[in-house]
Structures are given as structure tokens and as C-alpha cells.
Amino acid sequence: MSKVAIVTGASRGIGASIAKRLAADGISVVVNYTARPADAERVVRDIIDAGGQAYAVLADISDSVAVEALFDQAEVKFGGIDILINNAGVIQPGMVNLADSDDALYQKIFAINTKGTFNTLRLAARHLRDGGRIVNFSTSVVGLALPGYSVYAASKAAVESFTAIFAKELRGRNICVNAIAPGPTATELFLGGKTSEQVERLARQPPLERLGTPEDIANVVAFLVSEQGGWVNGQTLRVNGGIV
């Protein structure tokens, strides 16, 4: 029987690459999206055309009721859930010092990055089959402690705490819970609004002297959800080319 994964924010970028990679490994994928339905359906078509199984589900992960519907639809469509990939998230619109951050910025970032992960983890405790896998998403900005990104980094630092503690709370069920903390990655979301000079400067920062790719991140996710990743639990992996 094929394993089943929910990938949040999977209509483009890193999420789309993860969905396609997991499907290539024989996993049935629920492609979650909040906007851009055409992009989500394109990811589904690409997976099906390659011989995999996928299904798109609209759900705003900051809405607990919508997340319940997401899990219910996954179970109806594929018969169960084994894997949760908490990829959906937002970044700050440029550098904003803490003193200049308003309520709207704080609430938007924490609603999706932190509350969204909280919403899915609560349900995963009830819905994931024993032996399952959970991969949350943090950011290497937590380790870099970059001025101007305090709200964003704080929202993801909470995710790292969720990860370490939730792994222990699921004792006895053989479910591994880990987080990935990417560095600068060449996605539309990351590159938007940056000049070519800014992008070049960021690309030079890691010792490997390039930006990450969505495929770099998807490869690590694929390892963590595989049998080979079964002894990694409660960890945050910085997947960033050595930038921190």
C-alpha cells in the first residue's frame, strides 16, 4: 500500500518540488494550496503524467477548521495519512527592525508560520498512522540572527521548539518529527523584490558559493521520510550550504 503525504504550500517553489519528489518515490501526495489553484493543478498533472498519484486541496493552514477539512479529504481520497510536510510559510517583505514592526506584520507571519504549523501538528497526532513522518520548516535566519528579521525568525524558532517537544510527545508510535531550516533558496518567493546585486551577494555567502535550489531541499525531505531516515528524530537540520 502506498504511503500518503500532505504537503502544505505545494503549488510552487520548494513545496512543489517536495510533492514531485515524494511522488517519484511512490508516495501518494495531497497538494495543499491557499492561492494559485492553476499552479496546484499543474503540480498534480505533472505527478500523474509521471505515473504518480496526487490530489489538490484548498486550505488556509492558519484556519483550524480548514486544516481539519484538509486532513479529512486526504483520508477520504487515499485512505489514511503517513507523512506531513509543513512547508507553507511567509517571509517578511524585506528587513523590518523589531521597533518598526506593526501588529499586522506580526499577526500575518505568526498566523501562518507558527499557528499554521500548530494547527497541523495537533491533527497529525490523531490522524497519522504509526510509523509516520513529520517534517516542519524553520529557517537558517534563526541561526544567522539577522537584524531586520526578528519577527520572521521568532515565528520559525517556535517551530523548532514544536519539533523537539512533539517528537517526545509521540513516544511509542514510531513517528519521527524533524525540521528543516533552509538558507537562501532560489524560489520565486525568495527572489521577488531583490536586485541582481542582492541575489549575487546572497549567493556568495555560503562556502559552496551558490543559492540553494528547491530540489536541494526536496532531497533532504525525501531522506527524512524514508526508511533510511528513521533514526533522525527531534532534530532541526540546517540545509544551507554551510552559511551558518
Q: Which residues are catalytic?
A: 152
Helix H or strand E segment including 85: strand 81-86
State how beta strands 176-182 and 128-137 pair. parallel
Q: How crowded is residue 19: how many other Cβ atoms within 10 Å of its Cβ?
A: 32
Give the separation between CA 188 and CA 170, rounded to whole angstroms: 35
Please list the alpha-helical segments (H only) found in the chain.
Answer: 13-24, 37-49, 64-78, 103-109, 115-127, 141-144, 150-169, 188-191, 196-204, 214-225
* Owner of C-alpha cell 487515499: 78
Interior/surface letters 65-87, b for 16+ CB within 10 angstroms, e for the rest? ebbeebbebbeeebeebbbbbbb
Give the separation between CA 111 and CA 138, rounded to whole angstroms: 15
Cα Rg of the chain, angstroms: 17
